[in-house]
A and B are shown apart, each in its own frame.
Chain A
Amino acid sequence: MPRKTVREAINEALVQEMGRDPDIVIIGEDVAGGEGGSSGVEDAFGGVLGVTKGLLPRFGRSRVIDTPISESAIMGMAAGAAVTGLRPVAELMFADFFGVCFDQIYNQAAKFRYMFGGHARTPLVIRSMIGAGYSAAAQHSQSPHSIFTHVPGLKVVMPSNAYDAKGLLIQAIRDDDPVIFFEHKMLYDLADEVPSEPYAIRFGEANFVREGDDVTIVAFSRMVHIAAQAADVLEREGISVELIDPRTTSPLDEESILESVRRTGRLVVVDEGNPRCGLAVDIAALVAEHAFHSLKAPIRTVTAPHTPVPFAPSLEAAYIPSPARVAEVVREIMR
């Protein structure tokens, strides 16, 4: 099977779906780039990190739409187009920018179906970048997925690898509800075996990254890899980790998590988001409510601290959950 990076897998999903369905349009800033530029080169950007490169030459300006820097209008236009029959894939370049345009997502797109008594369909995908690691500082490095997960009416996807990225994006595009698709900026170059034909991965189905007996670790997106590194170290110490990547936070595969914890008796949740009212405590609460009597040790979470993301590389490294921190927490509950 061909190996592709996360970037290539996402691009391929977009190309294949756009080829299949003429209602799919791409909307965002510099998704092609070069509009009005003096070189006459089209597709000069293809997205700030090159993810949408090549779409413009294939599908043309009417379907690959570069916009002014106007996120409220982008999100509103995408939501309005979705509810009237198109299937927009809008780009919010960095997830941090949701602050500029959240009304169109939070009060509008997310609520159409419910408010309108089930009469509306809003097949909208919002692709956006999350994550620290580039020293991009407080307004370009956040992981605000918990905020979106909190909102009824939104589905939230957080792929950790290229195979999942392709299958989940295809599912997101075919889904008739608004879907937020979070790409971690540190994962774009990660390669994986990815089938060439289109395939969809259903939402709410966890991936068991590795099976084990002693402790269940639940992690999303880049944190899956951090947890896997910790699991490697722990394995050498004789601790067997079961690593679960639920892949979507909403819907969440609660059953797989509960089933695993009932076997292992221990839970650690690793999340790059801030800790308060976040995904990690959400999953901890799920297990505390429904699998309490299976627990052999306290539930633990490993998250970013309750701080903005710092700029200095030394501080940023301390901000992001590390394999060493995850391993240490596991050792503590194994004692």
Chain B
Amino acid sequence: MQLPRLTMLDAYMRMQRIRNFEERIVTEFSSGEIPGFIHSYLGQEASAVGTCMHLDDDDYIGSTHRGHGHCIAKGADLKAMMAELYGKRDGLCRGKGGSMHIADLSKGMLGANAIVGGSPPLVLGAALTAKTRRNGKVAVAFTGDGGSNQGTVFEAMNMAVVLKLPAIFIIENNGFGEGTAASYACGTDDLAARAAAFGMPAVAVDGTDFFAVHDAVGEAVALARAGGGPSTVETRCPRFTGHFVGDPQHYRANGEVDVLRRDADPLTLIRRRLIDAGVFDAEQFDALDRDVAAEIDEAVAFARAAPIPDEADLLADVYISYR
């Protein structure tokens, strides 16, 4: 925990933003305000934030269908994110992408991705851009345990090693792909070892522990920036919700999630660590939490008030307009 106080404050704020944002989304979706499908990132906050704390706006990430957390951790504007989920014109993608395609290219966030395994090959390309330009930038691909079974992921890992690209693979192992457990769908419980077999450094860490993720990804990013090629970090973290909001989760034992929320909550953990270390006290945390709650309220108010897209937007931006 040798991090500057401000860094830890920033990390906590980002994690709490994700937590509040996602909890609010669950409520707003359930009341019918948000259309489409929502996959919540609750429980995985430390994975996104521990990773993205090492990245600048001109480093890249490629995300998954469970992408809000990555987007927030990468610094996207909460109001524009919320407006996107509401399908509004002022959204990050002008209401055309929604939850599963939320993107902020100005922040190096190359998009959530509704195709499982879609991001890792794209992230290779971002890493190729960085390598070609010799600018020391890196590109991070998030995938799930389920997604790690896609051929695209294996191809991307091998090619990153072969071309020595500044790419980092984060396998967020939350134990499930939809309603099927990773223990069934993955032939090994050591997903990092598969990546290692391609010839890159790979470790598995406790994905509920911000500091563990931060340390491991820190090494991977340093290696990549120095021209040392790709790495993989498997972050083992819980999924506090169903696969999608509304999933009855028949495949999970009663009470399983309650235990996870009690014992494996990344927010509780970071808070306790920082209080125990005397970095912040409970009152300071409560004040920070109120600030975050206010940010989320503002984002919802903004999204509600934002205009819906014009019908003419339907035909816009299929191609670049050269007129």
Please report A residues at the B interface, Cβ cutoff 8 Å. 29-30, 33-41, 44-45, 48, 66-73, 96-97, 99-100, 134-140, 305-308, 310-315, 318-319
A308 to B313, CA, bound (A): 12
Contact in complex: A36, B98 (CB < 8 Å): no
A30 near B97: Cβ-Cβ < 8 Å: no
Instruction: Determine the distance from Cα of A97 to Cα of B151 in the docked complex, in whole angstroms.
Output: 13
Which of B87, B176, B252, B308: most chain A CB closer than 10 A? B87
| CB atoms of B315 and A137 under 8 A apart | no
Query: How close is A144's CB to chain B, nearest CB, in angstroms?
Result: 14
Asked if B315 and A307 sit within 8 Å, CB to CB, the answer is yes
| Contact assessment for B178 and A314 in the assembled complex, using a CB-CB cutoff below 8 Å | no
A137/B309 contact (C-beta < 8 A), A36-B185, A37-B252, A315-B314 known: no
Q: Chain A contact residues: over half helix, strand or loop, or mixed? A: loop
Contacts of B116 in A (CB 8 A): 69
Interchain CB contact under 8 A, A99 and B184:
no
Give 1 or 0 for each of B225-257: 1 = CB within 8 Å of chain A CB.
000000000000000000000000011111010
Lowest 4 CB-CB distances: which A-B pairs, in order? A36-B181, A37-B251, A311-B98, A36-B184
- A100 contacts B180, CB within 8 Å? no
Once the chains bind, are B250 and A34 in contact (CB under 8 Å)? Answer: yes
CB-contacts of B98-118 with A (<8 A): 98-101, 113-117
In the assembled complex, 24 residue pairs joining A and B whose CB atoms fall closer than 8 Å, in A order, are A30-B179, A37-B176, A37-B179, A38-B251, A39-B250, A39-B253, A44-B251, A68-B185, A73-B151, A96-B115, A100-B152, A134-B37, A136-B37, A137-B36, A137-B96, A137-B114, A139-B114, A140-B114, A305-B314, A308-B318, A311-B87, A312-B309, A314-B308, A314-B309
* Minimum C-beta distance from A6 to chain B (A): 20
Instruction: Specify which of B35, B117, B147, B180 is in contact with A30 (CB 8 Å cutoff).
Output: B180
What's the nearest-Cβ distance from chain B to residue A186, in Å?
14
B36 touches A135 (CB 8 A): yes
Contacts of B178 in A (CB 8 A): 29-30, 33, 45, 48
Q: Mark B69-84, 1 if CB is under 8 A from A, else 0.
A: 0000000000000000
Closest Cβ of chain B to A33, distance in Å, is 4
Contact of A38 among B99, B150, B256, B315 (CB under 8 A): B256
- Decide: A100 and B150 in contact? CB cutoff 8 A: yes
Cα–Cα distance between A310 and B316 once the two chains are bound (Å): 11
A97 lies within 8 A of B149 (CB): no
Q: Give A326 Cβ to nearest chain B Cβ, in Å.
A: 18
Please tell me if the beta carbons of B88 and A140 are within 8 angstroms of each other in the complex. no
CB-CB < 8 A to B101: which residues of A? 137-139, 311
Chain A residue numbers with a CB within 8 Å of B96 are 137-138, 310-312, 315
B174 to chain A, nearest CB (A): 13
What is the number of residues of chain B that contact chain A, defined by CB distance less than 8 Å?
A: 48
Shortest beta-carbon distance from A254 to chain B in Å: 32
Residues of A with C-beta under 8 A to B88: 312
B181 close to A69 (CB less than 8 A):
no
Residue of A nearest to B256 (CB): A38
Closest Cβ of chain A to B251, distance in Å, is 3
Contact across chains for A136 and B115 when beta carbons are under 8 A apart: no
Shortest Cβ distance from residue A65 to the other chain B in the assembled complex, whole angstroms: 12
User: Does A45 contact B251, Cβ atoms closer than 8 Å?
Assistant: yes
B83 vs chain A, min Cβ distance (A): 10
Q: Is the CB of A311 within 8 A of B97?
A: yes
CB distance from A313 to the nearest CB of B (A): 5
Q: Beyond the given A29-B180, A137-B114, could you list 10 further A-B residue pairs with CB under 8 A, ordered by the A residue number?
A: A35-B184, A37-B251, A48-B178, A69-B150, A72-B151, A135-B35, A137-B99, A139-B100, A140-B114, A311-B96
Pick from B147, B151, B180: contact of A35, CB below 8 A: B180
Cβ–Cβ < 8 Å partners of A36 in chain B? 180-185
Contact B177 A69 (CB under 8 A): yes
* A34 in contact with B179 (CB, 8 Å): yes
CB nearest to A306 among chain B residues: B318
With a cutoff of 8 Å between Cβ atoms, the chain A residues found around residue B177 in the complex are 29, 68-69
A89, B65: Cα distance in complex, Å: 27
The docked-state distance in angstroms from the alpha carbon of A40 to that of B88 is 42
Residue-wise, chain B 188-212 has the 8 Å CB interface mask toward A (1 for contact) of 0000000000000000000000000
For A44, the chain B residues whose CB sits under 8 A away are 179, 250-251
Q: Give the distance in Å from the alpha carbon of A307 to the alpha carbon of B311 in the complex.
A: 13
Is B95 interfacial (CB 8 A cutoff)?
Answer: yes
CA gap between A311 and B98 in the complex, in Å = 6
Say yes or no: is B282 at the interface (Cβ < 8 Å to chain A).
no
Query: Is there a chain A Cβ closer than 8 Å to B166's Cβ?
Result: no
Please indicate which of the listed interface residues B88, B114, B254 has the most CB atoms of chain A within 10 Å of its own CB.
B114
Q: What separation, in Å, do the CA atoms of A305 and B311 have in the docked complex?
A: 12
B146 CB-CB contact with A under 8 Å: yes
The answer, yes or no, to whether B1 is at the interface (CB within 8 Å) is no
Residues on A with beta carbons closer than 8 Å to the beta carbon of B313: 310, 315
**Within 8 Å CB of A310, what residues of B?**
95-96, 309, 313-314
Whether A66 pairs with B36 at a CB distance below 8 angstroms is no
Q: Does B301 contact A (CB under 8 A)?
A: no
CB distance from A288 to the nearest CB of B (A): 26
Question: Are A97's CB and B252's CB within 8 A?
Answer: no
Docked complex Cα distance between A100 and B88 (Å): 30
Question: What is the CB-to-nearest-CB distance from A16 to chain B, in angstroms, rounded to a whole number?
Answer: 26
